[in-house]
Chain A
Amino acid sequence: MKKSLVLGLTLVLALAGAGLCLAAPIKIGLMAPVTGSWASEGEDMKNIVNLLAEEVNAQGGLLGQSVQVVLVDDAGDPRTASLAAQRLATQGIKAVVGTYGSSVTEASQGIYDENSILQIANGSTAIRLTEKGLKYFFRTCPRDDEQGRVAAQTIQKMGFKKVAILHDNTSYAKGLADEGNALLKKDGIEIVFFDALTPGERDFNAILTKLKAAKPDVVFFTGYFPELGLILRQKKEMNWPVPFIGGDATNNPDLVKIAGKDAAEGYYFLSPPVPQDLPYEKTKAFLKAYIAKHGAAPGSIWAVLAGDGFLTVTEAIKATKSTDPAKLAEFLHGGQHKISGLTGDISFNAKGDRVGEVYRVYRVDAEGNFVLQAK
């Protein structure tokens, strides 16, 4: 008796759901860390995608239908993310934008792929995500090995011949260090030092003394900003003028606070451009509208890349005149497209990785500002 009741109810709900789907606007999912430790990123992602959706609807929507963003919270947590993905999968959604953390994205990838839902991640840079051959997975952010490549290129372009590499044994920093090491060696550049520091320590004089003895032209640091700030400061106290170049984990204004302006001056780092430095007219207009609505510009590039994920989906729907995920994926994999996004033109390779360079070189000036360097 009870069983049949439950069955009946399920049937009714399912029919109601299907009915809603037919009549409803095109629904695009957004999976973002709205709560948890990355909540500030999630908040920006939500605001950006919603604002873009408003703009699309104001211009008449997609294929004559309006666009509706369905937000689910992944809380920056893989388990929450897999539940969120299952929830979206049961709502007749064809495409999902998100999410930020690599491990969080990884927990949801399989679910979307099984349900043939297009997923476009915005901040997940771990290499393996696109090495699994998933048909429906794309990302608008660069991969970690891309950063290594740009780093090696930049070091070469600056004319350094002897390079020291310092990491901190975290998987991100070690990966970037290994990548840079292999690429630089291949190009005939001598690696005179390759070692790791212990995160959380304060005294790096021993490491600096050893580094100095190796006589590098430049030091490539792949760790995070708190240690780097102390290193730059202690380097200054040693009167050692060697230039440092670092990865995007050192892109934080606190770096200058810790090191002091005079010690931080001249430090180079690679990072996707901060939103205010994006050169495109379209982006400037969008950021203006964003600031008018939310009072401040988005904090980082990753949220802007979620906006690009949304634009990718809407432009692909426009171009294929279809919401069939298989057709959309085929279109995006084809490489024949060029979607104009907030961070420049977007196109994808066969793996679903974004083609083109996102990383830029920044330099810290005498006032402690991060200044974008010409390419």
Chain B
Amino acid sequence: MEEFFQQLTNGLAVGGIYALIALGYTMVYGVLKLINFAHGDLFTLGAYLGLTLLTSLGLSGRLGPLLGLLLLAVLVMGFVALTGALLERAAYRPLRQSPRLSAVVSALGASIFLQNTIMLIYGARIHVYPQDILPKVAIEIGGLSIPLVRILVFVVSLLLMGALFLFIQRTRLGTAIRAAAIDQAAARLMGINVDQVILIVFLIGPGLGGVAGLLVGLYYGQVNFTMGWVYGLKAFTAAILGGIGNIPGAMVGGLILGVIEALGAAYISVAWKDAIAFFVLIVILIVRPTGLLGERVADKI
């Protein structure tokens, strides 16, 4: 039983990160019906920017670990959000009226471009976060020993998801996003500035992805320029699992995927854990083709 709960906490922390990245996929899909393949690389960018800011500004040294990291997270979020908006402007907006496949190809191109840019700037070798930012303490709860960083990762991702949920459900802008997701043309007729909505989606999604990158850097300590691929793939899976285009779906999907992986590795086979996760995905899609919380059928791509 102890092992079960240990694995559960492993899975929830990983799942929280999947969920944060999955939100970026699902929000863009919701509004534009486009899979932003460059999203995984924006996540990588967040991890590298975090490393650069952390080592060059020395924030945690000057402001103390908590305040320093908070400021760091806000900076990373801002930078990656701006990059996301730029990406939308450069790679997607010119293709807004083109066939959907053109935008997908453009997304793949943007992904390759971002990945190689990061490699050229930082080099192909593995980079390592400084080790002394967060105290290495484990918290003992009922025989379980959970590292503080793991709790932090989970709590931060929950807080961000909660904030996003409130924003989408309770504010005028959030309502506008939901409206644009349901029917762009009708939303435009109701006086909603759809271009602005898309811009906001491309600020929020990449911003969350960037923070996820920073969390991964802090948690695991190691970043390399290809890391966006694995996380992007898993988060994309999580988004589909929860129902792509559905924001609570991405959150639930991410957490479930993380937990399935951890438990699958623990009780079935470590080598087969990805296969198990995808098997569960297939079963869920057979029973509910729109994903767990999805309402619409994802008909294209």
Contacts and interface: CB of A to CB of B under 8 A. Distances in A.
Interface of A: 169, 195-198, 200-203, 205-207, 209-210, 213, 226, 229-230, 233-234, 237-239, 254, 257-258, 260
Dominant secondary structure of chain B at its interface with chain A: helix
B230 A209 contact: no
Given A230-B220, A239-B138, A254-B125, A206 B269 contact: no
Nearest to B234: A201
Which range holds the interface residue count of chain B? 35 or more
A226 B227 CA distance: 12
Contact of A195 (B220, B222, B271): B271
**Most-contacted residue by chain B among A196, A233, A237, A238 (CB, 10 A):** A237
B265 A257 contact: no
B3 A196 contact: no
Given A237-B138, A237-B147, A258 B126 contact: yes
A269 B20 CA distance: 38
Given A203-B220, A238-B147, 16 more contacts: A197-B270, A198-B273, A200-B230, A202-B216, A206-B7, A206-B261, A209-B6, A209-B10, A209-B266, A210-B7, A226-B222, A226-B224, A230-B222, A233-B220, A238-B138, A257-B126
21 contacts: A197-B270, A197-B271, A198-B271, A198-B273, A200-B226, A201-B230, A202-B220, A202-B222, A205-B10, A205-B13, A205-B14, A206-B261, A206-B262, A206-B270, A209-B3, A226-B222, A233-B220, A237-B147, A237-B149, A257-B126, A260-B221
A296 B14 CA distance: 44
B131 interface: yes
Contacts of B216: 202
Given A210-B270, A254-B126, A202 B227 contact: yes
A229 B136 CA distance: 17
Contact of A206 (B150, B226, B266): B266
A266 B222 CA distance: 21
B11 interface: yes
Interface of B: 3, 6-7, 10-11, 13-14, 125-126, 128, 131, 136, 138, 145, 147, 149-150, 216, 220-222, 224, 226-227, 229-230, 261-262, 265-266, 269-271, 273-274
Contacts of B227: 200, 202
A260 B271 CA distance: 26
A200 B273 CA distance: 14
Nearest to A227: B222
A206 B126 contact: no
Contacts of B3: 209-210, 213
A205 B6 CA distance: 9
Contacts of A201: 230
